[in-house]
Chain A
Amino acid sequence: MKTYTNTGSKDTRSGFGDGLTELGKTNENVVALCADLIGSLKMDDFKANHPERFFQVGIAEANMIGLAAGMTIGGKIPFTGTFANFSTGRVYDQIRQSVAYSDKNVKICASHAGLTLGEDGATHQILEDIGLMKMLPGMTVINTCDYNQTKAATIAIAEHKGPVYLRFGRPKVANFTSVDQKFEIGKALHLVDGTDVTIVATGHLVWEALEAAKVLNEKGISAEVINIHTIKPLDDEAIIKSVSKTSCVVTAEEHNYLGGLGESVARVLATNKPTPQEFVATKDTFGESGTPEQLMEKYGLNSDAIVKAAEAVIKRK
Chain B
Amino acid sequence: MPNTQQLKDLTTQVRRDILRMVHKVNSGHPGGSLGCAEFFVCLYQEIMDRNEGFDMNGIGEDLFFLSNGHISPVYYSVLARSGYFPVDELNSFRLINSRLQGHPTTHENLPGIRIASGSLGQGMSVALGAAQTKKLNKDSHLVYSLHGDGELQEGQNWEAIMYAAGNNVDNIISTIDLNGQQIDGATDDVLPMGSVKAKFEAFGWTVVEVNEGNNIEAILKGMADAKSKTGQGKPVCVLLKTVMGNGVDFMMHTHAWHGKAPNDEQLANGLAQNPETLGDY
Q: Which residues of A contact B (CB under 8 A)?
A: 31, 52-53, 55, 57-58, 60, 62-76, 78, 93-94, 96-98, 101-104
Contacts and interface: CB of A to CB of B under 8 A. Distances in A.
Contacts of B136: 31, 52-53, 74, 76
28 contacts: A31-B133, A31-B136, A60-B159, A60-B163, A62-B155, A63-B159, A63-B160, A66-B125, A66-B128, A66-B156, A68-B129, A69-B115, A70-B125, A70-B127, A70-B132, A72-B129, A73-B56, A73-B57, A73-B115, A73-B129, A74-B58, A74-B59, A96-B119, A97-B117, A98-B115, A101-B107, A101-B116, A102-B116
A-side interface mostly: helix
**Lowest 8 CB-CB distances: which A-B pairs, in order?**
A70-B129, A66-B125, A74-B133, A63-B159, A60-B159, A67-B129, A70-B126, A70-B130
Interface residues of B, number: 40
Contacts of B137: 74-75
Interface of B: 56-59, 63, 65, 105-107, 114-119, 121-134, 136-137, 139, 155-156, 159-160, 162-163, 166-167
Given A74-B58, A74-B59, A74-B137, A66 B116 contact: no
Nearest to B103: A97
A97 B133 contact: no
Given A63-B160, A70-B128, A98 B133 contact: no
Given A66-B124, A69-B125, 13 more contacts: A58-B163, A63-B156, A63-B160, A65-B125, A67-B128, A70-B125, A70-B131, A73-B58, A73-B63, A73-B115, A74-B58, A93-B119, A98-B126
Contacts of B65: 70
A62 to B, nearest CB: 4
Contacts of B59: 74-75
B125 A67 contact: yes
A70 B174 CA distance: 14
A102 B130 contact: no
A151 to B, nearest CB: 25
Contacts of A94: 122, 125, 156
A76 B116 CA distance: 18
A66 B158 CA distance: 13
B125 A73 contact: no
